[in-house]
Copies of this chain bind each other. A is one copy, B any other.
Amino acid sequence: MALWTKDTKVLIVGLGLIGGSYARALKKQGFDVTAITRSQSSIDYALEQQIIDRGFTQVCREAVSHADAIIFSLYPSALLPWIEEHQHLFKPGVKITDVTGVKTCILYDIQKVLRADAEFIGAHPMAGKETSGVESSDEKIFTKANYIVVPTDKNTPEGIAWCEELGHLLGVRKVTQLSPEKHDEMIGFVSQLTHCIAICLMTCKDNENLVNYTGDSFHDLTRIARINDRMWSELFMLNQSALLEQMDLFMEEFKDLRSMLAAGDVEGMRGKMQLSTQRRALFDQSKGE
């Protein structure tokens, strides 16, 4: 089956913030987009906004069997059961991907049970907003986002190319590849650990007048402290050992800085600050800031 063409029929399973943003991005480029999602009101909204061509609240042949490309945007633990139950409806040769924030715990299991004539290529668009739901969806969330393709040895060069092309179609900043293990370690650090930190900053002190004393730094560090606890606790558990490692790595460094402060080790603290400044400057340059 060829890569993305104007005849590629797209199915999005899960029409929330991310699924809805995929829909918008792909409809804008002229693709035919079907959605399956539990909420009728999400479907009504999406049809009215012309984000999708048709929508279904139930999985059925009509919804699934014509799709050349399927994008799963569900809670991580929902993917495997869905595929086991409904893959008999797939079109032979269908290419499937996802948006899930953790990989080792879902990819291998899915690929093990998947029909031989279908291919699942894991991906993770590192994009989002603090609000949720299709009403919050916006194709612009992809513009500055990194998009990680997560191939395994079950994936073909063609499947991987197809998945990378989807990233380009979304208009992401950069498409890269990581193994499932490297992905989960990375996500444990840049996304999950940072959320742990933001949460703890909000929960360690109760000061309802804080807003009158804060500057930008506190605001920035806690922007992500408003989270979907059901989804995030699930993501944390699914990435438990990698996240524990990242938490420990951070804690060691933090304790080290604390010791320097307690000992009045100004040179030591300045050393850490200089390293931090160097690395962050490099980061800003690479991002083009």
> What is the interface of chain A, defined by CB distance below 8 A to chain B?
126-128, 145-146, 148, 174, 176, 178, 186, 189-191, 193-206, 208, 210-227, 229-230, 232-234, 236-237, 240, 243-244, 247-255, 257-258, 261-262, 264, 266, 269-270, 272-277, 279-284, 286-287
Contacts and interface: CB of A to CB of B under 8 A. Distances in A.
B270 A230 contact: yes
A21 to B, nearest CB: 14
A219 to B, nearest CB: 8
12 contacts: A148-B213, A176-B212, A194-B218, A200-B257, A200-B272, A203-B272, A221-B224, A226-B280, A233-B269, A237-B266, A240-B261, A243-B261
A280 B222 contact: yes
B203 A276 contact: yes
Contacts of A274: 229
Given A126-B213, A204-B252, A211-B287, 15 more contacts: A190-B214, A194-B218, A197-B201, A199-B276, A200-B253, A201-B250, A202-B279, A203-B253, A204-B250, A212-B286, A229-B270, A234-B266, A248-B258, A251-B251, A251-B258
Given A230-B270, A270-B229, A273-B199, A186 B204 contact: no
Contacts of A225: 276-277, 279-280
Contacts of A217: 190-191, 194-195, 198, 224
A211 B286 contact: yes
A210 B227 contact: no
A252 to B, nearest CB: 7
A261 to B, nearest CB: 6
Contacts of A286: 211-212
A189 to B, nearest CB: 6
Given A199-B257, A270-B233, A283 B211 contact: yes
Contacts of A206: 279
Nearest to A258: B247
B215 A277 contact: no
Contact of A233 (B198, B219, B262, B266): B266
A282 to B, nearest CB: 7
B254 A213 contact: no
B233 A218 contact: no
Contacts of A261: 236-237, 240, 243-244, 247
Contacts of A189: 205, 218
A259 to B, nearest CB: 10
A131 to B, nearest CB: 11
A210 B283 contact: yes
